[in-house]
Structure 1
Amino acid sequence: MSYRTPEELHKAAAALLAGIEEKRAQGPIRNKDRIAIPQQEMPSQDPLERRGNMQEVTFGYSEEQALVEAERCLQCKNAPCIAGCPVTIDIPRFIKAIAERDFEGSISVIKEASLLPAICGRVCPQENQCQENCTVGKSLKDPFKSVSVGRLERYVADLDRATGGRSAPHVKPATGKRVAVIGSGPASITAAADLRKEGHAVTVFEAFHRPGGVMLYGIPEFRLPKQIVDEEIETLRQMGVEIRTNFLVGRTRKLADLLNEDGFDAVFIGTGAGLPRFMHIPGENLIGVFAANEYLTRSNLMRAYDSDHADTPIIQPRRVAVLGGGNVAMDAARTAIRLGAEEVNVVYRRTRKEMPARAEEVDHAEEEGVHFHFLESPVRILGDENDRVTGIECLSYQLGEPDESGRRRPVPIPGSEHPLAVDTVIVSIGNDSNPLLMKTTPELEVTKWGNIITDDDGRTSMPGVFAGGDIVLGSATVILAMGQGRKAAAAINTMLAGGAGGPGTEPTEQ
């Protein structure tokens, strides 16, 4: 798709909107006509310009684009899109409000279920969730042509922010109960908000010096401006949630101490999965090999990209290989481009079709000059006499039968080894949970991968302790983590009110 400027997109949308309004004047718009309305493209920076800056890539819809896109919604009575939303936003109702130009009403509908609309509208994989079930996409036989739920959510959320509509949710009278929330990522933010709304005193414990979790240290500025995350955290503070940073549960205080000595009535664990995995191939200990987590944390949380205002050291590579095919791999590759790398290669052992990364992120990476090496995987990392990376040796693959994930299994081709010259390798093949909390809390049952075992409502094996997000799921998405935080908060609220679901319920492994 050739690049079109925001001005071109806005002009085209205005013409479409005029045609829609003219047709409406003649009578109700039929579903057939709605399906024929073209999906509105997201305005963005020119790829040649954005690869040299950290500013947000996309600009968001204009009002005309939002109105046109909202007209594509069929207002299905069975609302299949809602079933695909982990926090069950009433999607048809908020889109209908946009079509009626009731933008304040639209964001109010979203806020009934989500505290993070500006974030979810930017980073959630709607094409695999709400938009996957969209009747419009199914009619066009293309889920990527569904109604753009996420872009519409972002539009009204940004409009709400711009017009000062960020009032904190109502908090009920104090219950006298206290809840500790460990971590400050999306699951924890959602749980903290829902618990505080019920009147409980909530304290969030964050290991880093700034709250926000993976939204702050993992997702780059060009995808999610940190000001937006800070604003969501500020909403929690306005609600009366206490946030304590530089507090590592398991080291500063043990989990059991929070319950037995510090007077908390319940604990929610939302610490995420931040322990990087490596491939365990020769050469991974060479100078120039990094975990994507470390690389992105240096750039995002510690602002290494802003060398005029930060002294955080970070590698200045010329030729980079990023190993993996998920969103984190795309973030690392696109960050490397912005930090001045002359060449960035993504090496992935399946094809583009099987990549877990969002299609939009892969498209953006390609537009920015990232090279993709599909059906390849490194078998060793090469170095020189000074133990510095000089390249990787890759093996070629072909796809075999599907594995347990449903994707076709990569099968190595014997004798297909070949070199790729690079001076930096960024490993992005997933994360495990940090073992510190589990090692200092033997009462918590975990899987063999270190993820906490819970029941469907987030109850763990430890009385009064609940968990959700990546610490339970492994690496997941912002919205899935939020859904788990919401379920756990509901169960905690029931427990603290003296209802069913109290502590001690045996969890079932997920």
Structure 2
Amino acid sequence: MSQHRAELDIDRKARAYAPVLPVRKQDAETRLGHFEEIYLTYEAEIARAEASRCIQCPDPAPCVLGCAIGNDIPTALRLVEEGNFIEAANIFRQTSPMPEICSRVCPQERLCEGSCTHGGGVSLQPIQIGKIEKFVIEYQYATEGIPLGQVDPDTGKSVAVVGGGPAGLAAAERLRRLGHAVTVYDANPYPGGLLLYGIPAYKLQKERIVKKVQHLEALGIRFVTHTRIGQDIPLQKLADEFDAVFIATGASVDSVPKWEGADLHGVYTATEYLIRSNVPVDLQPHELAEKGLPDVGHRVYVVGGGDTAMDCVRSSLRLQHALDYSLDVTCAYRRTEAEMPGCKAERVNAREEGAKFEWLTAPVRFVGDEEGNLTGIEFVRMTLGEPDESGRRRPVPLKGSEFVAPADTAILALGYNADPLLGETTPNMATDRWGLILIDQDTGKTSLPNVWAGGDAVTGLELVGTAIKSAQKAADSIAEFLKA
């Protein structure tokens, strides 16, 4: 072994065993008083020290393979270690159209950090890649703002993007930078999709989404809001008027509950509850804005086990400050914590903030009074049987274990489905039985001649990074089509 190789191995070992430097977060009492982000941003020297733990794995680095959009993480970490924060930010921007968002909402513990070689031993902990990414992007915001970047000369071609969520915004930016005229249509009062209307502000401040949209407007992208394609304008009309169309309508339709009493006052879908509790009133759809804050009683149950359920739990706990009375907030989940699909850190944060959990518990019906108000929930205890198609053990009701828990408010976080509207109103648009749009997996092309689709409208509810990747692939296919 050469002396250089030996020195490199020694350095890597020292780096690997250097202690992790986690980002600080506000204490529970403080963060319950607001809807602002709870995690603080790294200070420069701490970010450099954390980045210096990277051992610069040979290509292909596991963290890059674990990233949904293939960020060049080792190069970015090396630049952070050297103090070149702007250069590091631009490395992330080479592959990610929205690092200010992905750094906050991507489940890094399952992606880049989950793939980090530092996580392979009991005494090792993965590098805090997401928090470092957030630091360099915030540093760039503070020092020079978002760089406008290059836009190619106008091609004379036009593209309509249906949906202003992560996939729609990613495709719009990529196509505009290639010189095409891009118009984004969105049914909501403001673009952003689930980033604005689904993810609470304590995880992703709304200002970052607004700034991103303003940046895209500065690039020349046109936004048309309050417009639902398939209802206000037929999809075929866009296909006739534009050279190409990209559909990115997401999967934001709440799963329909089948329990008796689900229509009682006090029972909410997750979407309505999250919008009314933490989206600024001027950005809410009119029909929700006029209702004001949710009418929340003292005893709150959230039904579900994913990240949306935790969002509803933690938003409820924050409403105590606005309501000026205490809430008893419980998450009821039909399996155990080991089977919960959401982020573990979110459950830790929820517990710190006062949430309770009822495991192996599922609703049977909702109980109301003569005025139609929720007064209780009948639950049944569950046990775990054989694994189902997801690989998790199937919950099985325990006969005779039913009980009624007093409740004033119930929030149903049961998952999301695609909006079937376009498939139902567009002749020859191929969809599956769940309303998901069928595409050519290599190109994103739909069954219509000049229409592509991507993101959650194709896959069902997925990660932001996955939606961005599919949008970029479809945008590249559209660009090739427009050259013909």
Q: How would you bin the TM-score normalised by the shorter chain?
A: over 0.9
Shift of 1:44: 1.2
3-state SS, counterpart of residue 172 of structure 1: coil
Are 1:88 and 2:70 matched, yes or no? yes
Residue 316 of structure 1: CA displacement?
A: 2.7
Q: Distance in 1 between matches of 2:454 and 2:355?
A: 34
Aligned twin of 2:413: 428
1:141, 1:393 → 2: CA distance? 45
Q: Is the 8 A contact 2:35 2:278 kept in 1?
A: no
**Alignment of structure 1 residues 315-464 onto 2, 5 Å:** 315-340=295-320, 342-456=327-441, 457-464=443-450
Whether the 8 Å CA contact 1:397–1:410 is kept in 2: the answer is yes
- The code of the aligned residue for 2:465 comes to I
Pairwise CA distance, 1:482: 1.0
Deviates more, 1:408-417 or 1:89-98: 408-417
Structure 1 residue 300: deviation in Å? 3.2
Taking the aligned partners of 2:399 and 2:282, their CA distance within structure 1 comes to 41
1:120 paired to 2:105 = no
Q: Indicate how the Cα distance of structure 1 residues 121 and 217 shifts in structure 2: closer, same or farther if over 3 A, else same.
A: same
Structure 2 unaligned blocks of 5 or more: 1-6, 321-325
- State the Cα distance separating 1:304 from its structure 2 match: 9.5
- Aligned residue number for residue 79 of structure 1: 61
Tell me the SS of whatever aligns to 1:56.
coil
Q: Which residue of 2 aligns with 1:278?
A: 256
Task: After superposing the two structures, state which structure 1 stretch, 31-40 or 460-469, moved more.
Answer: 31-40
SS of residue in 2 equivalent to 1:30: helix
Name the SS of the counterpart of 2:362 in structure 1. strand
In the alignment, what sits opposite 1:312? 292
- Is contact 1:52-1:337 (8 Å) kept? no
Q: Partner of 2:311: helix, strand, or coil?
A: helix
Residue 278 of structure 1: how far off its partner (Å): 2.9
The CA deviation at 1:302 is 4.4
Q: Does 1:59 align with 2:40?
A: yes
Which among 177, 180, 185 is matched to residue 197 of structure 1?
177
* Deviation by residue 1:372-398 (Cα, 9 ceiling, x = unmatched): 111111111111222211111111122
Shift of 1:325: 0.9
Structure-2 change in CA distance of 1:424 and 1:469 (3 Å): same
Equivalent residue number for residue 220 of structure 2: 240
Q: Does 1:470 align with 2:456?
A: yes
Question: Residue 161 of structure 2 contacts residue 185 of structure 2 at CA under 8 Å; is this kept in 1?
Answer: yes
Q: Please state whether the residue corresponding to 2:95 is helix, strand or coil.
A: coil
One-letter amino acid matched to 1:64: E
Q: By how many angstroms is 1:85 displaced?
A: 1.4
* Contact 2:17/2:123, CA 8 A, preserved across alignment: no
CA deviation after TM superposition for structure 1 residue 59, in Å: 1.2
By how many angstroms is 1:128 displaced?
Answer: 1.3
2-side partners of 1:177 and 1:305: how far apart? 31
What is the count of residue pairs matched by the alignment?
A: 467
How many Å separate the matches in 2 of 1:317 and 1:469? 37
Give how far 1:72 is off: 1.8
- Greater Cα offset, 153-162 or 127-136: 127-136
Query: Is the CA contact (8 Å cut-off) linking 1:98 and 1:106 kept in structure 2?
Result: yes
Q: How does 1:88-237 map to 2 (within 5 A)?
A: 88-140=70-122, 145-237=125-217
- C-alpha distance in 1 between matches for 2:118 and 2:195: 31
- Give the whole-Å Cα distance in 2 for the aligned partners of 1:139 and 1:496: 50
Listed as ranges, the matches of 1:25-64 within 5 Å are 30-64=11-45
After TM superposition, which residue ranges in structure 1, 4 or more long, deviate above 4 angstroms? 26-29
Cα pair 1:391 1:423 within 8 Å, conserved: yes
Q: Bigger CA drift: 116-125 or 386-395?
A: 386-395
Maintained 8 Å contact 1:216/1:300: no
Indicate conservation of the 8 Å contact 2:163/2:193, yes or no. Answer: yes
My pick for the range that moved more, 289-298 or 332-341, is 332-341
Q: Aligned in 2, Cα 1:43/1:406: closer, same or farther, shift over 3 Å?
A: same
Which residue in the other structure is 1:480 paired with?
466
**SS in structure 2 of the partner of residue 395 of structure 1:** strand
What CA deviation, in whole Å up to 9, does each residue of 1:330-349 have, x standing for no partner?
A: 11111111112511111111
For residues 194-219 of structure 1, the C-alpha deviation after alignment (integer angstroms, 9 at most, x for no partner) is: 10111111000111111111111111
1:355–1:141 Cα change, 3 Å: farther
AA aligned to 1:120 is C
Q: Deviations over 1:33-57 (max 9, x none)?
A: 2221222222111101211211211
Change (3 A) 1:188 1:304: closer
RMSD: 2.0
Distance in structure 2 (CA, Å) of the matches to 1:71 and 1:244: 45
Partners of 1:304 and 1:40 lie apart in 2 by: 39
Name the counterpart of 2:279: 301
User: Contact 1:299–1:305 at 8 Å: present in 2 too?
Assistant: no
Question: Which SS does the other structure have where 2:86 is aligned?
Answer: helix
Change (3 A) 1:310 1:432: closer
**Structure 1 residues 179 and 350, CA gap change in structure 2 (3 angstroms):** same
Structure 1: where are the runs of 5+ without partners?
1-25, 499-510
1:290–1:426 Cα contact (<8 Å) kept: yes
- Determine the structure 1 residue equivalent to 2:482: 496
- Separation of aligned partners in 2, 1:281 and 1:368: 30
User: What is the deviation of 1:139?
Assistant: 3.4
* Native 8 Å contact 1:305 1:339 kept in 2: no
Q: Give % identity.
A: 41
The 3 A distance-change label for structure 1 pair 381 and 406 is same
Q: Kindly indicate whether residue 265 of structure 2 is the aligned counterpart of residue 287 of structure 1.
A: yes
Contact 1:452 1:472 in 2 (8 A): yes
